[in-house]
Structure 1
Amino acid sequence: MIRAVVFDLDGVLRRFDPAHVAAIEARHGLLDGSIHAAAFAPEMLDPVITGRISRAAWVRTVGEQLAHPQAAEEWGRHPSVPDAGMLALIDELRSHSIRTAILTNGTDTIRAELRESGIDVHVDEIFNSAEIGVAKPDPRAFQHVLDALDLPAPEVFFTDDSSSKLAGAEALGIRTHHFTGEVALRAALCDAGVPVSR
């Protein structure tokens, strides 16, 4: 029996408009994709999502890498939009006494971002790699979640839009789903015996 559903954040519960980044690059004469190429290179990303540096320091370093700090600062203020359908799904789960949580490879500002967006009131727990100290797909990140929820792995369901992030959960026996949209997720939850509408 599934007693908790854990969601990735970006690409699942909130979305970013890629046109926003493209517009920043065009405005500052940067090559298409150059901001994300710099920001998400492992040597740049790993320190911030494991809490070794702050988000502010990460954005500054991206600016240095691009030789364009203003573009990096604008990118760092990239607005996100909560997915209303997914938040309704979470509320439906909670109405059936299913616990809900977020597990994100995030930075030190995640809790503030979730408060600002209103997403935080829809979930019971927020797990952030910058606070845990290890990031998905490391099984230790998922073990931290299991320990905090005080639930065995077979009673937890995890979904992420990056299939590579599922491995650590699967290694522990957590039921997983590669997120491609709300409809498919609802079907997967129903198949797992979770009482939600399709």
Structure 2
Amino acid sequence: MNMQYQRHSVYLKKYLAYLKKGIGQASLLGLCLAISAIAEPVINRDRSLTFAQTDQSITQLNNILAQAVFGDDQLTRYASAVNAIENKRLEIFRAAKNNSNWTTVANLAESQQTKVCDLAQPPEFLQDLCSQLRSFTEKEIHQRGFTNKEFNQITREQRQNPYLRGLIQAKQMELRKSK
């Protein structure tokens, strides 16, 4: 009996050692999970902060580049051309609205999701008005010292860069006030 007790005692000790080791590992795993549950939000917040700072730095860099690429004089000339073209567009729009077919043409353009001047077969009254607007736009762009390509490049860039768009809008307002 004593021998059996010793044998069981050895097994019991081994089992307890194994159990302790298992509990220790389970506790260590639990501790790691607890730490990660606490630390992960802190790390992610720092990551988010880093990404936000990076985005802000990129925006500032884009703003500086926009000013460097398009100088103050160029932006003033662009804003002046845009103002003149917009005024002419409004004038032509008022003239077009006076035509009895305007509503039909406007509805057609809207259904095709296009501008009235971009319709495949615009009515005769509109052909003349659109031609006037196109030739005025072309003349205004060149008169302000731009090629069509340069003017369109600034147009595309200001659509993508809110800072540049803001600079141009400020110039437009400044030009309107000075008149």
Q: TM-score range by the shorter chain?
A: 0.3 to 0.5
TM, length-normalised to structure 2: 0.35
Greater share of strand: 1
Larger Rg computed on CA atoms: 2
Q: Larger % of helix: which? A: 2
